[in-house]
Structure 1
Amino acid sequence: MIKKCVILLFIQISLQCSTPTFYNNIIRVNTGTEMFISGCMSPETLNFDGNIKEIAISDENIFDLNEGAVQNISANEFAIYFHHTTIEIIRRDAFLNLPGLVRVDMGRNKIRRIFENSFKDLPSLKLVGLYDNEIVDFWPRSFNNLPMLEEVVLSGNYLDSFDQAWFHKTPKLRKIYLGGNIMCDIPTLAFVNLPSVEFLDFHANQIEYVDKDAFKGLVNLETLLLNDNNLKSLEFNLPSPSKLTLVNIDHNNLTYISDDMLERIRPTIKRFEMNGNPWTCACYDKLRSWGQNATITFKAVEAGKANVTCINPKTNPNECIQRGDDDFEHEFWTPFLNKNLIRKERLEECHV
């Protein structure tokens, strides 16, 4: 009878770990204890006595996180870290039956794809970090039924778009980091099904266009970072009432902003950062005047030994109006160019 139970238990574990993930890899538990692991990570393979707070793997050859790669660990409030590994794919149900898992940090690996239900049914999970990988896309519902998820860090990848379908049943999602990708635009209704979001970071993409209704439905949005992109215009609607308090549009290609846009953000804005844009002098003066009721940062951009804060167009220099590129002398744009080599390379990828 005992022999039969052992066999059944072995069969159950084998079914959940039908495709091994680990092959004699070194893991570290609670920043101290090191051990070798093969197959899947579970109480049986960990064989660790004590309260698990942290499991970490770094600088190891691990190609895919397969189904049940990490499973059945009952520790309370523990975190998993995978750094500098060769992981390329996270498959569905890679994290299985982990009721106390609060954090998954998988930054600086080789991850390219995230399958549907890769992060699913993890009732305590609050943060997922997938920054500085090579991710090109997520399957729909990659993040599924995560009732406590608050923060997702997707910075430093190769995402050319954002799709809210990646998230399903994530009612507490507050922060999404998308900086350092290769996105060209933010389309209409991009976040309409994610009303809990308070913080959006799009810095250092290649964004040239933001649809007027891109942020429709974001009734809790407080912070919007669009700095270091290629925006030539900024015109988007906000929910009423709005909670937006901080907008950063530093280092874009903005020469003009409409009165309507300023009036939309005026009621709640506390900080509006706009340094390093080639504002026309008429618009620059208008912004300074408007900023008397908001905290706006201005910083002169160095051009050789001279400080340049604005430029004069060829026609009607005293008017703050939207203009075409041919209304400016090329040399006046030069001080404002702030695109590094990496961003130029990504721009080529973005338009392929």
Structure 2
Amino acid sequence: MQHPTIVNSPPRARRPEAEPRTRRRRAAGAVAGLATGLMLATTPSAYADTETIDVGSGDSRSTFGVAVSPDGARAYVTLTGDGKVLVIDAASHTVADTIDVGKGVHGVAVSPDSSRVYVTNRGEDTVLVIDAATNKVTDTISVGDMPMKVAVYDTAAGGRAYVVNRDDDSVSVIDTPTNEVVATIGVGDFPTNVAITPNGKFVYVNNQWDDTVSVIDAATNEVTDTIDVGRTPTDVAITPDGAKVLVTSFEDYAVSVIDTASNEVVKTVDAGIDGISLAVSPEDGRAYIVGSFERGVKEFDPGTYEVSNAFVLPNWGYDVAISPDGSHGYFTKDYGGGVTVRDLGGAFGSLGSSGSLAWPS
């Protein structure tokens, strides 16, 4: 299929120091991670309930992308090495089905009506569409180079899926009724995540090597703003009221808070953790920031800008999704597999007893 020409993409050279910078931030993160990990070990907190869904061991069983269906019935988890999508029953927290999709699968998103699942495949530069009723792949869509994450928005008149393509610095726009790529939008350097405002009007994309966030007008498929944020922005999420965009900065151990009315950073908060990903509860707007080296999760209130210690994970964290009612969090783990399910119950700050979790060795 012939794709439309990339629009809104000014010529630029990739940073020559990109690889050395990556090594530096990993080394810095390891040192900072140790320090933060030691701090958290003294005062870890636990929620009322923790459960691990066993998916086997070994690198091939590492869990990456995770999404919860808007109807709250299922969670979907990608196994990159095995080339599978796990369908988890949200009531029993068990694996209800396994879908073969090919090695290299990464990001996952569910349509607002819970009928379709979209999965990126980095190895094939494609997006697979899964029928949630049958758990069968119904279509495969060619996109850009190294598709990472995907976000979906539907309306009565149709819908769009937005796919960030890391290695060609672009976003593929898919018309969901036809599963055709209708636009390819140039963004910043090394985009990895994407979020759509609740009204579907704007799309926000983090650019890791530009230290920026691109703002896309969904009506025109053009980048209308570029926002400077912290160093190495890794993930982006939007509060349920659409008023704020949250961006984790891996290298700064911080969260940038963007006002969507002005597209300006109104607050930068020290998160105390190397945020590799974050998700916002659809119910109350609380954000959960997942650390990589620390293997911890921090809770963040975008209203008060309060950060609190929440809990630790048994392995390096990678991705997170929150159930529609805000009651449970699903956390994937790099290098080792498994999915940690947490009961997030109660209002912000109502954590369980301090010291009930030990820091993992």
Q: Which of the two has higher C-alpha Rg?
A: 1
Structure of higher RCO (CA pairs closer than 8 Å, 6+ residues apart)? 2
- The structure with more strand, counted as a fraction of residues: 2
Fold match (TM-score > 0.5): no
| Superposition TM-score, scaled by structure 1 size | 0.24
| Superposition TM-score, scaled by structure 2 size | 0.24
- The structure with more helix, counted as a fraction of residues: 1
